[in-house]
Structure 1
Amino acid sequence: MAEPVPGGISVLPVHGLPEFAPGDDLAAAIAGAAPWLADGDVVVVTSKAVSKVEGRLVDVPPGADREALRLQAVEDEAVRVVARRGPLAIVQTRQGWVVAAAGIDASNVTQDALVLLPEDADASARALRARLCELLGVDVAVVVSDTFGRTWREGLTDVAVGAAGIAALTDHRGAVDAWGNRLETTRVAVVDELASAADLVKGKLSGVPVAVVRGLPYTTTAGDDEGTRPLVRLPQDDLFPYGARDLVRSREPGAELVPRAGELAAVAEAFRVASAALPEFPVVLRHGGEGDGVVDVHLSDTPNLTTALNLGALLGAAIVQLHAEGWTTRWEPVGTPGGSSLVGRLWLGTPAS
């Protein structure tokens, strides 16, 4: 008698999807190709498909230098250059990712285009999740994946650049292992593991942009869906903020910028005072991840010239107010405008005594 097959996790490719173009209904295509989706599944979609339907493309006119356009696009998408060697640049994108060439891809796309990363892949994942629920009546999580290199290791792997309906990190800190050891630092990037597992059936050359992971128990999100923001390492936690031999010098944190508690209340009060002339301006402030001394600034309205100018005016007035109270500050524009994405991080140091 055969032994029963143990339970486990299945990774299923979604075949039959078309070549996507701007304006296509990605969710409808997935629903048509995978009507078997079920509650608890995780739908992993390559970022390239998302970018194509959202029009995140750079046109390459006939006769144009495609490589020159790609290098210019890298400069346009970067907020900080970490290292550069010849035409290769490691940069930080507006979304907060540190990645080669700003994640811009010239493969699996026609010769007259380049593909940028999605403007806000977390928002894309949320919209895709809601649309799949509308079409199929299923409650699934969605991960948007992209291919990244890895520090100190050869080879590529897929990681998550967007997520919805699933916590990005599984936190085991404080748990006790089988030998009685308390875990102090263990947090598992479960959405990255899902992205990598899904790529085993999607592949780079097979033309399969979507896969489904089934059977994985995961922590769902409720209320404020943070997406992949918890994966972005804060500057004060980064032991290697710059390159070595190929260092591109950027700003260096001032010695006086030592994080202290109470910064969120101080920033909120400064913005309240500064916003007297802009009472309806849609700014949201949150702690920057886990670190004291960093406040994330969000722009909850759709970005345009007016909101950009208003944010600049409001931020400047708030910083002046903070300086008047003795705080030291540093502003880092590291996010993507729109939705719940970051537009930047405001660092505060100890008030003058």
Structure 2
Amino acid sequence: MKTIPLTEIPLIKPGDDLSEYILESLKNQELALKNKDILVIAQSVVSKAEGNIVDLSSIEPSSRAKEIGKKIDEDPRRVKVILDQTQEITRLGHVLITLTNHGFVCADAGVDDSNVEEGKVTILPENPDNNAEEIRKKIKKRTGKEIAVIISDSWGRPFRLGAVGFAIGIAGITPLKHLKGEEDAYGGQLETTKIAPVDALAAAASLEMGESHEKVPAVLIRNAPYESGEGSISELFRSEEMDLFR
């Protein structure tokens, strides 16, 4: 498996066509897409292209946002944006852990003030699966190649330090691989094992994307083992009854 950072992609603005910039970057790097290639694209540029940027100066914080902001030492305007993207607050400590309107459980409902102008924040795309599918279709129309697309974001994890890439939207790839019934190295039959290749691929791409000044919003992954197909990122969600951390 090979990961290739796509460089020379300009700063994205609302209304920009990401597929065009990605194809231009591939051309500049003398890369031709192949069937079964995977494109992993950072959530931040997808949100910007979609116009999901909030100017905090336009936000009037609610009394609840002010109360929470005081408790966690956070700008209440930013807290108000987080609450607007939230179904439920699952933990309130030094940071907000929320169940987003999409169904993700993550810090601050995915609201991010990095890689955006000062005083502004990005919010998650409204439907990341749709974003991934739209990009996949546009690239197939231009190149004729059958690829997979993953929209990724960097999140923390319970009981572990350090952010890693997670898939938040997918197209052309099945999100889960079920190993039940297969044999392990000693001939034993697996009973419940499932793996999430889309998260593994997002994590691999995040090493190329970086978290600060790298300016690599997309990564090409080649020769990775995965199953092509239709699916939704929601297939990875645990129900509340099965989630031991909520």
Q: With the length of structure 2 as denominator, give the TM-score of the two structures.
A: 0.89
Aligned partner letter, 2:144: G
Aligned to 2:26: 34
Judge conservation of contact 1:163–1:228 (CA < 8 Å) in 2.
Answer: yes
> How far is 1:201 from its partner?
1.1
Q: 91, 97, 110: which one pairs with 1:83?
A: 91
After superposing on structure 2, the runs of 4+ consecutive aligned residues of structure 1 that deviate more than 6 Å are none
State the distance in 1 between where 2:245 and 2:202 align: 25
> How far is 1:81 from its partner?
0.6
Q: Secondary structure at the match of 1:179?
A: coil
Aligned partner letter, 2:195: V
State the distance in 1 between where 2:168 and 2:190 align: 27
Residue 231 (1) aligns with residue 236 (2)? yes
State the distance in 1 between where 2:106 and 2:89 align: 10
State the distance in 1 between where 2:116 and 2:33 align: 28
Q: Secondary structure at the match of 1:45?
A: strand
Judge conservation of contact 1:106–1:113 (CA < 8 Å) in 2.
Answer: yes
With a CA cutoff of 8 Å and minimum separation of 6, indicate the structure with the bigger relative contact order: 2
Residue 61 (1) aligns with residue 57 (2)? yes
> How far is 1:233 from its partner?
0.6
Matches within 5 A, 1:100-139: 100-139=107-146
Aligned partner letter, 1:52: K
> How far is 1:49 from its partner?
0.6
Aligned-pair identity (%):
35
State the distance in 2 between where 1:212 and 1:173 align: 30
Task: Determine which structure has the larger helix proportion and give its number.
Answer: 2
Task: Give 1 or 2 for the bigger CA radius of gyration.
Answer: 1
Aligned to 2:180: 173
Q: Secondary structure at the match of 2:82?
A: helix
Matched pairs, number? 229
Residue 20 (1) aligns with residue 20 (2)? no
> How far is 1:68 from its partner?
2.4
Aligned to 1:256: none
Matches within 5 A, 1:259-298: none
> How far is 1:239 from its partner?
2.5
Gaps of 5+ in 2: 62-73
> How far is 1:191 from its partner?
0.4
Judge conservation of contact 1:17–1:33 (CA < 8 Å) in 2.
Answer: yes
Matches within 5 A, 1:293-304: none
Q: With the length of structure 1 as denominator, give the TM-score of the two structures.
A: 0.62
Aligned partner letter, 1:232: F
Q: Secondary structure at the match of 2:57?
A: coil
Q: Secondary structure at the match of 2:91?
A: strand
State the distance in 1 between where 2:234 and 2:196 align: 12
Gaps of 5+ in 1: 1-8, 242-353
Q: Secondary structure at the match of 1:138?
A: coil
State the distance in 2 between where 1:99 and 1:218 align: 26
> How far is 1:236 from its partner?
2.4
Judge conservation of contact 1:60–1:111 (CA < 8 Å) in 2.
Answer: no
RMSD across aligned C-alpha pairs, in angstroms?
A: 1.7
State the distance in 1 between where 2:234 and 2:216 align: 27
Aligned to 1:43: 39
Aligned partner letter, 1:40: K
Aligned partner letter, 1:233: R
Residue 70 (1) aligns with residue 71 (2)? no
State the distance in 1 between where 2:245 and 2:18 align: 38
> How far is 1:67 from its partner?
2.6
